[in-house]
């Protein structure tokens, strides 16, 4: 079945262009042009991924993102004005999986969506180790759930991918380029803080469950999930 994509953007011409292109690329796209309408709609309808513009009538995109993250972990890609780094960082902090500056290239949008969707699906190879445990940390790749000391972390798709990448290399420093490739499906560009912001979100969720200081920043190298029982 083709992936269903909802585009939330008040630029009707752009939405029409993107929907036409995504349809040709094998997606099933639809669009909503008002933030308040989207807020109501998304509570009763599910999609494989959502493309959300920051600037919307009715309800701003960042507010809508924050609201949606209270009830769904659906992958969300934010559209931000080119050069607006503050919006990008805030969007990631509020739970966006990735961002793309406007005006965006439809082909790049399709590629980003494929990467997000590919990494939000459970592994289909039964040979893969689906359940991974490090101390009180448990992660299940089959149903894409993660818990610490029995408490659900409620991770977004990208947060899950990052934590899984770190757990697979527990005790070893993983550089940001590798984390970006595995979690976002793209190389890390200059001044891109996506990985840092997502890691910060994971650390806050772990801390809320009693898992303080499990992920450490090795300056100039990357991040490490502490593997020893003494550290956990």
What are the structural domains of the chain?
Answer: 4-120 (3.40.50.2300), 131-225 (1.10.10.10)
Which position has the token pair 């585009």?
7
The phi, psi pair for 91, rounded to 5°, reads -60, -45
Measured in Å, how far apart are the chain's first and last C-alpha atoms?
42
Q: Could you report the per-residue pLDDT of 99-141, keeping only the tens digit for each?
A: 998 888 999 999 999 988 888 776 554 444 578 888 899 998 8
Q: Which residues of the chain have pLDDT under 50?
A: 125-128, 229-232
What pLDDT was estimated at residue 124? 55
At 14-31, the pLDDT tens digits run 999 999 999 999 999 999
**For the purposes of burial, counting CB atoms within 10 Å of the CB of 159, is it exposed (0-12), middle (13-18) or buried (19 or more)?**
buried
User: CA-CA distances (angstroms) from residue 98 to 27, 55, 154, 169, 204?
Assistant: 18, 16, 17, 23, 19
- Look at residue 6 in the predicted model and tell me its pLDDT: 96
Residue carrying the six token digits 């940001």: 176
């Amino acid at each position: 079945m083709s992936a269903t994509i909802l585009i939330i953007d008040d630029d009707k011409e752009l939405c029409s262009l993107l929907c036409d292109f995504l349809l040709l690329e094998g997606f099933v796209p639809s669009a909503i042009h008002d933030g308040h309408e989207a807020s109501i709609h998304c509570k009763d309808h599910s999609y494989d991924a959502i493309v959300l513009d920051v600037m919307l009538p009715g309800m701003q995109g960042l507010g809508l993102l924050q609201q949606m993250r209270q009830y769904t972990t659906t992958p969300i890609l934010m559209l931000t004005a080119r050069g607006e780094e503050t919006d990008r960082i805030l969007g990631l902090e509020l739970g966006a999986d990735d961002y793309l500056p406007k005006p965006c290239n439809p082909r790049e949008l399709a590629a980003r969506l494929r990467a997000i969707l590919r990494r939000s699906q459970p592994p289909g190879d039964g040979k893969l180790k689906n359940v991974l445990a490090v101390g009180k940390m448990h992660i299940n790749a089959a149903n894409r759930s993660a818990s610490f000391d029995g408490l659900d972390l409620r991770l977004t798709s990208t947060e899950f991918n990052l934590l899984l990448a770190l757990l697979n290399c527990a005790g070893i420093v993983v550089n940001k380029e590798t984390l970006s490739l595995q979690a976002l499906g793209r190389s890390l560009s200059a001044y891109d803080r996506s990985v840092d912001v997502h890691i910060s979100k994971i650390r806050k969720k772990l801390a809320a469950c009693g898992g303080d200081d499990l992920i450490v920043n090795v300056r100039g190298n990357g991040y490490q999930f502490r593997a020893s029982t003494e550290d956990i």
